[in-house]
Amino acid sequence: MKLGRSFFSLYFLIISIFIIFSWILDEVWSTYLEQDIESYTGYKSMLSALSNFAENHPDDEWEKIIAGAAEQWQLPLKLMSEQEVNKVSHHNHDVISEENTHIYYDKDNVNIHHRIENSSAVIVLGPVKMPTRPRIAALVRVILLASLACLLFFWLRPLSRDLDQLRKTAVEFGQDSFDVVAPKARSNMTAPMVTAFNSMASRIKRLIDAHKELSTAVAHELRTPLARSKFALQMLACTEDKAKQEKYRNAISKDICELEQLISEMLIYASFDNDKPELTFSQESLTEIVQQQVSNFQQFEQNISINNVIGECKVDVDRHFISRALNNYISNAIKYGKGEIDITIVQADDHCQIRVSDNGDGVCDDFKCTIFDAFSRGDTSRNRETGGFGLGLAIVCRIMEWHGGSASVVDGDNGGSCFILSWPMKHVVI
């Protein structure tokens, strides 16, 4: 399979770093070897021992002793005087000196001169090969680097593939392919990035779709009252009848009020959809919240009953926004119901729920899946004559998303609809 350029760039970068690092270590070791006489400890110790042994014997036996050591150890050893040593040219050699020992090295060969204490005799060793790092250690180092290179290859390969796929997905997404989704990550390192990208893409797609839907709906919603007002103005200009003029003026006034209300609700919905406000979660009594909202509708001739199943249990909630969502549910129940409203507070698993049921005509099954969309309206029993533009439930849905919960509708026990607010008992940051 063809790998991306980014993979090879990253792979060769890391391997190059290891190679350079290894080369620097070798250079440092070689420099230390050449400049430190202790690197020649084996030769130096041998010459020191041989010198000490010779000192314990007469001078005339030294040459024989050195010759015997050379034959025994198979080394180029010989005994020379300082005058003979000084005649030997070492202009092409580097020198290391320490007390009685002088080391001359050139390329791979080395010559060592060791002067016998309290004499002018010098034991000469050389030329011999320069001591080097053991080959087995070098071979082990090479194998370790090769193994590391293989591990890096198989570690970076899925990482490179994920990054390449993510780049391609981002390019497609930037070309208005908003349905594109980044493939599942093969590497644990890129999995959070892929998840974050898909979440971002989903959010952007939803916002773009919502804005397109909003623009289309706004154009449709504004066109109707504007057309009615235009017709009323034309008729107003064509008639002299005072009663008809007053009728058309009232019609225009109603259309203007409707436009104002529509614009106000659209601004509220747009602010809710684009920007999440700062929510203040606190332990609140749902019974108290429900009772307060019910008291706001005392002027209506409705029979509203409250059934509290969870008692005085308190839950994490933003009181202001939950009250607003509940207010919308109760308003709809009054508009579309037939005088009987039941509000039930229950707990389902780790979620608390507020259920608002009415005894109206209910919501048809086809409309249930879109009732919480912006500007959605159902059959004629839920048209504009009963008020609203289809934004109230969309706002409720957004509020419940902020709470980590949901808004839904099911068939009620009284033949009407049952609208449900559901969210976790304990607030979870989302």
40-49, 192-201, 372-381: which has the minimum mean pLDDT?
372-381
More confident residue, 106 or 290: 290
Q: Does position 144 have pLDDT exceeding 80, yes or no?
A: no
pTM: 0.48
Range 232-253 average pLDDT? 86
Largest CA distance in the chain: 154
Domain ranges of the chain: 36-129, 192-274, 282-424
Confidence category of residue 74, pLDDT binned at 50, 70, 90: confident
- How far, in Å, CA of 335 to CA of 60, rounded? 131
pLDDT at position 36, please? Answer: 47
- 354 HSE (CA, 13 A, CB side): 30
pLDDT in tens, 127-140: 877 655 455 656 67
Is residue 224 a contact partner of residue 197, using CB atoms and an 8 Å limit? Answer: no
pLDDT at position 343, please? Answer: 92
Give residue 421's identity as a one-letter amino acid code.
L
More confident residue, 282 or 141: 282
Contacting residues for 373 by C-beta, under 8 A, at least 6 apart: 213, 390, 394
Q: Contacts for 317-320 with beta carbons within 8 Å, 24 or more apart?
A: 317/281, 317/282, 317/284, 317/286, 317/289, 317/403, 317/423, 317/427, 318/279, 318/280, 318/281, 318/282, 318/402, 318/403, 319/280, 319/282, 319/284, 319/289, 320/280
Give residue 46's identity as a one-letter amino acid code.
M
More confident residue, 103 or 8: 103
Confidence category of residue 32, pLDDT binned at 50, 70, 90: low
Q: Does position 1 have pLDDT exceeding 60, yes or no?
A: no
pLDDT in tens, 328-387: 898 888 888 888 899 999 988 888 999 999 988 888 888 888 888 776 665 443 344 545
Nearest CA to 166 out of 206, 142, 207, 196 is that of: 196
pLDDT at position 96, please? Answer: 61
Confidence category of residue 114, pLDDT binned at 50, 70, 90: confident
Is residue 403 a contact partner of residue 410, using CB atoms and an 8 Å limit? Answer: no
- How far, in Å, CA of 280 to CA of 278, rounded? 7
pLDDT at position 342, please? Answer: 92
Confidence category of residue 6, pLDDT binned at 50, 70, 90: low
Range 109-119 average pLDDT? 84
Class of domain 192-274: mainly alpha
pLDDT at position 29, please? Answer: 59
The arrangement of secondary structure in 282-424, i.e. its CATH architecture, is 2-Layer Sandwich (3.30)
Distance of CA 220 to the CA centre of its chain: 41
- How far, in Å, CA of 161 to CA of 185, rounded? 9
Between the two ends of the chain, the Cα-to-Cα distance in Å is 40
CA separation, residue 424 to residues 68, 317, 330 (Å): 96, 9, 22
Pairing of strands 101-106, 94-98: antiparallel
Share of the chain above pLDDT 90, in %: 5
pLDDT at position 357, please? Answer: 92
Nearest CA to 129 out of 114, 113, 103, 107 is that of: 107
Is residue 175 a contact partner of residue 21, using CB atoms and an 8 Å limit? Answer: no
- How far, in Å, CA of 398 to CA of 392, rounded? 10
pLDDT at position 136, please? Answer: 60
- What DSSP character marks residue 38? G
For 41, the token pair is: 């400890």
Rounded to 5°, angle at Cα 409 from 407 and 322: 35
* Average pLDDT of the residues of the chain: 78
Phi-psi region at 349: left, alpha or beta (left = phi > 0; alpha = psi -120 to 50): left
pLDDT at position 232, please? Answer: 85
Range 260-276 average pLDDT? 69
CA dihedral 382, 385, 389, 393 (to 10 degrees): -40
pLDDT in tens, 227-239: 888 888 888 888 8
Confidence category of residue 89, pLDDT binned at 50, 70, 90: low
Q: Does position 95 have pLDDT exceeding 90, yes or no?
A: no
Angle between helix 319-336 and helix 286-295 axes, rounded to 10 deg: 50
pLDDT at position 420, please? Answer: 93
176-180, 212-216, 327-331: which has the minimum mean pLDDT?
212-216
Confidence category of residue 151, pLDDT binned at 50, 70, 90: confident
For 241, the token pair is: 């009848």
More confident residue, 42 or 291: 291
Q: Does position 54 have pLDDT exceeding 70, yes or no?
A: yes
